[in-house]
Amino acid sequence: MSSAKATIAPLRGRQNLLFLLGLLLLWPALLHGDVFGFNDTVSYLRGADTVWAKLTGHSDAFFGNATPAGAQAAPAAPPGMVLYGRSLYFGLFLYLGLLAKSFWVPVVLQALAAGAAIVGMVRHFVDPSDERAFARTCLAAFALVAVTPLPFFVCFLMPDLAVGLAIPVAALLLCRWRFERARWRAGLLALLAFAALAHSTAVAVLGLLAVGGFAAAWRVRSRPVGVAATALMATAAIGIGGEALFGLATRLTTGSSPVRPPFLTARLIEDGPARRFLAEHCADTRFVQCRYPVLQPVSAEVFLWEITRPRGGFKALPVADAIRVSQEQGRFALAVLRAYPTETAAGLGRDFLRLAGNLELHDFRPEYLAGRMRADQPFEAMPANTPLPAIDRAISGLTLVLVLGALAAFPWRRSSPPADLRAAVWVVLAAIALNDVICAWLSGPFARYNTRVIWALPLVVLLFRAAAWRSRGAVPRPRASDTPP
């Protein structure tokens, strides 16, 4: 699409039905006969149910399900401690499924949101006024993403889809703000604001992209880029404000503030430098963690959520000490980094590379369907050597091929036209890397953190190449003054 065009042409008539192509992305749920849940899904729903109970005086029947005899109940949260990290706002969105007695409701809404976002992206690369080319490109785009991990996240009762959609949407707004129509700006910014309310990773990525946008606007003296960066920062601020409001409400109702789990401490414990620090430096420091050292190798998940010592280093502690461990995690991480800079950097680098290269779909097994969820019973963990379903392995393999193809076709050269679209493709790549750094360091190299966003890379590269091809093949219309008499 030509960069000289003032504004993207509006969609007309049947073009508006292209959003419905998002429903094709429901195929994993249709294949399994149900949508996918996760242990954290119950936590999101429980927060929303607390609000619903206060408004109506009763909880949903889902939270009255008893644990079957002999089953292992989910460990209760420590009394007197509410945790940050499970968005109340995304929980309220999922709660639509409980009210409608079907979790297909939020999943269908996610499919339509994905459809609108993808059509919105295509508009930047192919002019909608060329109806045939636009329709063909939309079909190609949906066909491409249908064989990536995106459909699995559309069918997933977790906020990962919102984070994935936020990356290409934010990139295009940042680089193509002056071409976007006002209503589309409002709609896409609303999607970004919801992503920021749904997951803290979106807040971090949007905030960092906004900072980069301010720097780019200053360097190239571009007012539209500065305005777009301001808009992205505003959506990140909405996420921060939503969490602050949750914290205020928690203080008013419980008398104490929510606690942020010490994810960074847990990561350094698993990687090793923090365990070494606890063994060698506790005599010289006053960190609360030194009173509860975890010296044996454990995963970050075990460190955080194990309820017994000596493996548990957060949830296993008295509430007052767990809160202090949370508050000290920044200073503790800096102390570990100062003591063992090379070891710490190497461990974090390995975490990033493990995540960036992980394309497996571990969380989408038939055993994790929403119909199997219980309010007081976690999904049973599958043995480590349990093979993934064939379709999951096939999609992972196809995704690898598509990502390698996208890197081969990536517009690495600065001369690749059009310049603004090339910049957007680069921003998508940078944002995917930021997502992986944030998640690998603050949580762990879990595959879904990468697979929820990696689909955007082959999509935007395909669209860029389509736009570049059309730009080279376009024949400019002669001006009236050039027409022979």
Question: Which pLDDT score is estimated for 411?
Answer: 92
With 0-12 / 13-18 / 19 or more C-beta atoms within 10 angstroms meaning exposed / middle / buried, residue 92 is middle
Distance CA(18)–CA(141), nearest Å, equals 11
Q: Do the beta carbons of residue 105 and residue 96 sit within 8 Å?
A: yes
Residue 240 makes CB contacts below 8 A (sequence gap 6+) with 196, 203
Q: Could you tell me how far CA 329 lies from the centroid of its own chain?
A: 23
Taking each continuous run of H as one helix and of E as one strand, the counts in the chain are 19, 0
Would you call 280 exposed, middle or buried from its count of C-beta atoms within 10 A (0-12, 13-18, 19+)?
exposed
Q: What is the reported pLDDT for 79?
A: 53
DSSP 299: -
Length of the chain: 485
What does the pLDDT read at residue 473?
60
Give the pLDDT confidence score for residue 477 in this predicted structure: 41
Tell which residue, 330, 312, 332, has the closest CA to residue 322.
312
Q: In the chain, what is the straight-line distance between the N-terminal and C-terminal CA atoms, in Å?
A: 32
Residue 414: predicted pLDDT: 77
* Dist CA 13 CA 285 (whole Å): 68
pLDDT at 70 (0 to 100):
42
pTM over 0.75: yes
pLDDT in tens, 403-424: 999 999 999 987 666 789 999 9
Question: Which pLDDT does position 82 carry in this prediction?
Answer: 81
Coil vs helix vs strand at 1: coil
Q: In one letter, which amino acid is 43?
A: S
Ranges in the chain, pLDDT < 50: 1-4, 65-77, 475-485
Q: CA–CA separation, 406 vs 186, rounded Å?
A: 30
| Omega cis (within 30) before 310 | yes
**Residue 143 dihedral angles phi and psi, to the nearest 5°:** -65, -40
| pLDDT score for 3 | 44
